[in-house]
Chains A and B, each alone.
Chain A
């Protein structure tokens, strides 16, 4: 017999329904699909435990990203692997088939080269670039998440992009990215 849902559970349901995809995507961009399922489920597990501290929108998703970031870091450090709950919670098989939409990865070679270049960035720069370009987090929010000023985020994105340009064009002398474009503030 199912117990009546409590307000806490209701709120969790709503949060999970709204953010399960972006959190899973965040994890998948940093891990393989099955490990990502584990990490995403762990993220929501932590969120459930800390429901009272979970901020309302627009802070909810960055908060969940932060939890996921730490879950992934711990997962990598400790060699922590699967939780069966994760796969069940997220409805994913332990070993998704290659054509499973959850494993969709653009296999374009050029994109692969760019992704590898992104992963070679310094850890903090990499996280900022991923949050900015892949999670589409506004720069102001990234600044809050990373504990730095907005201009520092701008500089790091600029510097990281310049490094990517150098990496992707090794045969050419690296070119300066027009500062005026950066100062426009990008997409945020």
Chain B
């Protein structure tokens, strides 16, 4: 679509073309009526536009003044005073205003809010936000975020020192980033930042730093898997470029293969549930009864804080008090020993956490590979 085409379309959509009013009778009422009305109205009403403004000195009489010069000066004066140019805040140049722009930009990046991003970015802005590195792709950034389950959590923005010359300022905004590939591969969320350059109230550059190690552990792992599993999709998903294509067809493939990748890799690893474990949902009474029925009278126990058989009856209460959570995983029977009848089973206990670890912000699955040794007679 060219400029001229859009221009023609907009002009043709004029809701009140000049021709529409040609035949409308807009003649003045008889002089006596409208002038009386004017004067009456002037006496009774306050002017909603100019009534509260301080009186200004009378401008030069229009008769005899150079038309163009007076027109420009007068139009500027009235527009400034009547507020047409104040509909939106003036071009931001204070540090507070610049920070606000940066923070709004960071929030929009995190949310994939293309409308806000387009409103902030200059026409020829230089963008590189994860794999979105063309301004033409900004309208679908939210769709790509959804396809890859991108999670950007914005942090603090700080203005970098003003340069010695030039009018632009750069704000550096912190983010925590993760995505579906990282979660599927148990790669921890990574801290990163973005440089946002602001000039004339517009963002001219938005560069989100992609930590190389994180990319190697997530994006590269995903694309390597994709190249092997779906080699026919490479051309569509990249269009010959190194980074992602965000065409509608490509977006659908990003979404579909991300889901497939997550499903495949999630099945291959121990499942570490974020949800409250089944263990905690059991009643302490049932848990205690089950344990007592299974354990021998002189069993050697070492289950969290429960170290003695005498403490087993208090087991549920103790775990409830300390907020322990565990989800049982797979059990494997060890080979039979050369002698004796006892067999050893090793059972995974997943998602171990407690009130203290949660209070300290430790994520639940950090200990998900812990295991316990159980003996069964």
Contact = CB atoms under 8 A, between A and B. Distances in A.
A164 B15 contact: no
Contacts of A22: 18
B74 A174 contact: no
Contacts of A147: 76, 79-80, 84-85
A184 B286 CA distance: 82
Contacts of A122: 88, 119
A104 B20 CA distance: 6
Interface stretch (B65-73, B299-307, B330-338): B65-73
B11 interface: yes
A101 B21 contact: yes
Contact of A57 (B18, B59, B67): B67
Given A9-B35, A145-B79, A169-B1, A174 B62 contact: no
A161 B78 contact: no
A106 B18 CA distance: 12
Interface string A148-184: 1000000100110111111011010111111001100
Interface string B313-328: 0000000000000000
A106 B14 CA distance: 8
A70 B83 contact: yes
Contacts of A21: 18, 21-22, 24, 26
A159 B123 contact: yes
B26 A20 contact: yes
Nearest to A88: B29
B25 interface: yes
A28 B15 CA distance: 8
Interface string B26-63: 11111111110110011000011110000000110110
A71 B48 contact: yes
Contact of A58 (B67, B87, B119): B67
B135 to A, nearest CB: 9
A70 B71 contact: no
Contacts of B35: 3, 9
A53 interface: yes
Interface residues of B, number: 73
Interface in A16-68: 16-17, 20-22, 24-25, 28-29, 42, 45-46, 48-50, 52-60, 62-63, 66-67
Nearest to A22: B18
Given A45-B38, A49-B47, A52-B61, A66 B71 contact: no
Nearest to A43: B49
B85 A146 contact: yes
Contacts of B137: 173
Given A66-B84, A71-B48, A165-B1, A91 B71 contact: no
A72 to B, nearest CB: 10
Contact of A129 (B10, B28, B82): B10
B49 A89 contact: no
A133 B38 CA distance: 33
Contact of B34 (A62, A89, A118): A89
B9 interface: yes
A182 B50 CA distance: 37
Nearest 3 A-B pairs (CB), nearest first? Answer: A59-B71, A147-B85, A55-B74
12 contacts: A17-B28, A29-B16, A48-B38, A49-B47, A52-B61, A56-B65, A58-B67, A59-B74, A66-B75, A101-B22, A115-B15, A173-B136
Given A63-B74, A91-B26, A111-B13, 8 more contacts: A29-B16, A45-B41, A52-B61, A55-B75, A59-B74, A63-B75, A74-B49, A129-B10
